Each structure stands twice: as structure tokens, then as C-alpha cells.
Amino acid sequence: MRGKRSAFTLIELLVVVSIVAILAALAVPALNAANRQAQTAQCATKLKSLGAAISLYTIENQGELPRSWHSAGAHRQSGWAASIAPYLGVTDEQIQNNWAGVFDQHFRSPTDSSEESPFIYSYGMNVHFELDPNGDDYVGQPATWRRLQQIPRPTRTILLAQTRPIMFGDHLMCHLWNSIDAAKNALNHEAHNGRANYLFVDGHVELLAVEQTFAPSQELNLWNPELAR
């Protein structure tokens, strides 16, 4: 006897295709969520590395923090990124010949799609650590916090944060903020599903909503070392 030839019917094929489509629809959001979580973790790791490098820099510079473009030129210093690069394991040759590559590796967040490297920073320094007391008006004047040991609450004071992509925007003029909208305008505050990573002076990183860092109506300010609680 000749054996019967088995084959899928059209209905069976349609059922299989439907099941595959449903599984794919369920898998895509999960994969996207996992990718976002991975990016958040990678960004936090980068910030922790920057914090460690800044700490090493202060050890060799009498406790002083590096400066951003807000004041580095006036003091004949490099910006904070170039200043701490050697403490990230970057060689002089890499700095001179492949700064764009160094910049992308260490100073760009995985969520940053800007193409103007090495001039668009993903992270900005809190400008309170370098303000000129004779020229800047801010709460706490004329106090400055150039050295780590001068900062009253290092566990509650923000050092670096995710900034909006602005040319040479390696610092945050948070002493000028007078509303939550001003903070939102300066920060990439929704980089990670409505929140962003913040590096504190003591080296730890927190994933926070911007309102958890700055809310004038609630007298909350984690940016000004004198007001941070």
C-alpha cells in the first residue's frame, strides 16, 4: 500500500503564523525593556568610573576638583574631561591622537545619539564647585567648594548629571535655576524611562526623577552644597 502524504493545511499554517506573530509582539516590548535597563546600568557604570577618576585627580591636586569650561580657560587648565582622562587609564598618545574615541568611550552615555563628538557631552559638572565668588550670584555666596573636604554633605550633593546635548556643555549652571522648568531645560532628565542618573560627590549613583533633586517649593536642592540635605 502506498503511504499517505502528510502536510499542513492552510488553516494550520495560519494558526502557526498567528502564534508566531503573538509571541513576537510579546517579546519585542520585553526586549526593549531589557535594552533600556542595560543602557541605564551602562550609564551608571560610566558615571561611577568618572567619579572614581575625579577622586584620584583630587588626591594628586591638593584636594581640588577639576574645572569645567566655565572656568578652566581663565585658570589655564584643561576641562574636567581632559583633566581626569589619565585616571581612566587613557594614555597621552590616545589623548593626542584619538580624543574622539576616548570621548565616546568615557564621556558619552549609551542613550546619547548626538553625532558632534568630541564636543557634545553626555555628562555635566555641577558648577557650584568652581564659581567665582566675586562674579557669580548664588545662595551661599561667597562660599566655594573647590576641595572635596569642604563639601558638607558629599552623600547628598550632586557632582555630575546627564545634561542636554549642547556644544561644549560640560557643566550645569544650576546656581541660576529658579524653577523646576529651568532644571528640566538643562538636564537630560528623562534619559532613562522618565528618570536620569546622578553622580554624587561620594561616588555613588542614583536613578532619580528631576523633582527628587531640585524642587524650590519644597526647599529641596541637591545641587548647592550649602543647601543639600
CA distance 186 to 214: 12
User: Can you read off the three cell numbers belonging to residue 170?
Assistant: 560640560
Instruction: List the single range of 29-33, 160-164, 175-179, 223-227 with lowest mean pLDDT.
Output: 29-33
Say which residue, 14 or 72, is predicted with more confidence: 72
pLDDT value for 118: 64
Check residues 208 and 19 and name the one with the higher pLDDT: 208
Q: Residues 177, 213: contact at Cβ < 8 Å?
A: no
Nearest-angstrom CA–CA distance, 206 and 199: 7
